[in-house]
Amino acid sequence: MAHQKNILAMGTGALGEHRGGGSAASAHQPMPIDADFHGWALEQARALREKKPESIDWQHIAEELELMAAGERRTLRRQLKRLLLHLLKMHEQPGQLSRHGGWRRSIRDARDEIEYTLADSPGIFQGRTDEILADAYVRARETASEETKLPLKNFPEECPWSYEHIMRKDFFPGTTRSD
């Protein structure tokens, strides 16, 4: 997904190098996306910058943008699941002090990744923060049960924390330390 952002952000000079001065696609007919995605993306970026609507593959551009957005949402969901997984482990296994360091690192890393995603895409939750958090929690709960070998019933059925709570830098359940 990140490579797609970079492709669309590249200058037109890269397109000239890719095409080597010639192309099977005419100025009015976009290169087929399945022939060479990289070349297609660079060609589309150039057509957009040059405001040449006749050279734009509108349907595929729309599909690729939707795929990029979906990829961002998947990344967010994976990081939420990872964050919740390790919060659950700390909550249910406060005596596993030897593992707390690794869990804390994972929690901090997940929070950082979520913050980076939100900085790049502030509207990614689309007003559905609670729903997305609940979905990630269901998956994290199942994984926590599998990984800890504790019964699923040991973990609350619904997420016991709000989004704001899990994102607090000092929140590590099952501990008295705040860092």
- Residue 5 pLDDT > 50: no
The predicted model scores a pTM of 0.74
- Residue 123 pLDDT > 80: yes
Q: Where are the domains of the chain?
A: 2-56, 73-166
What b/e readout covers 116-146, taking b as 16+ CB neighbours within 10 angstroms?
Answer: ebeeeeeebbeeeeeebbeebbeebbebbbe
* Residue 9, pLDDT score: 41
- Residue 26 pLDDT > 80: no
Least trusted range by pLDDT, from 3-12, 59-68, 71-80, 130-139: 3-12
